[in-house]
Amino acid sequence: GAGVSQSPRYKVTKRGQDVALRCDPISGHVSLYWYRQALGQGPEFLTYFNYEAQQDKSGLPNDRFSAERPEGSISTLTIQRTEQRDSAMYRCASSLAADRVYNEQFFGPGTRLTVL
C-alpha cells in the first residue's frame, strides 16, 4: 500500500488490560509521529521518531504509555493497564524528514480504542 496503515482499526478492551497499537509508515519516511484525538477535539501530539530514535516523548500522558520503532520503520504504541480515559482515536503520521517543517505529514486512518 502507498499510505500509512494502522492496526487494528478498532480495539475494545477492558480496564486494566495492556494494548499495542501498530503503525506502518510510508516506505522511506524517516519521521513517524503519534497523536491522540479525543472525541470532538483535534489531535494532540504524543511522541515522534526519526529513524529508530525517539526524539520527543513530551506528549505522552504518563508512564503507562510507551512507544518504540526498533528498526526505523514500523512503530508500536503500547498502553499498559488501560483506563477508561485512554479511550480515543490514536493516529499515526509519517513524513520524509522532520528537519524541514514544511514536509507534509501523511496520516493513517487511526485506531479507535475503547476501554470498558
Partner 1 sequence: AQSVTQLDSHVSVSEGTPVLLRCNYSSSYSPSLFWYVQHPNKGLQLLLKYTSAATLVKGINGFEAEFKKSETSFHLTKPSAHMSDAAEYFCVGVRGSGNTGKLIFGQGTTLQVKP
Closest approach, Cβ 53 to partner 1, in A, equals: 13
Please, which residue, 48 or 82, has the CB nearer to partner 1? 48
Residue whose CB is less far from partner 1, 74 or 80: 74
Nearer to partner 1, 44 or 68 (CB): 44
CA pair distance 58, 28, nearest whole angstrom: 25
What are 58's three cell numbers? 513530551
Least separation in angstroms between CB 45 and partner 1: 5
Q: Site residues (CB under 8 A) for partner 1?
A: 3-4, 31, 33, 35, 40-45, 48, 55-56, 59, 91, 93, 95, 98-110
**Least separation, in Å, of the C-beta of 50 and partner 1?**
9
Helix (H), strand (E), coil (C) string for the chain = CCCCEEECCEEEECCCCCEEEEEECCCCCCEEEEEEECCCCCCEEEEEEECCEEEECCCCCCCCEEEECCCCCCEEEEECCCCHHHCEEEEEEEECCCCCCCCCCEECCCEEEEEC
Q: Which is nearer to partner 1, 75 or 82 (CB)?
A: 75
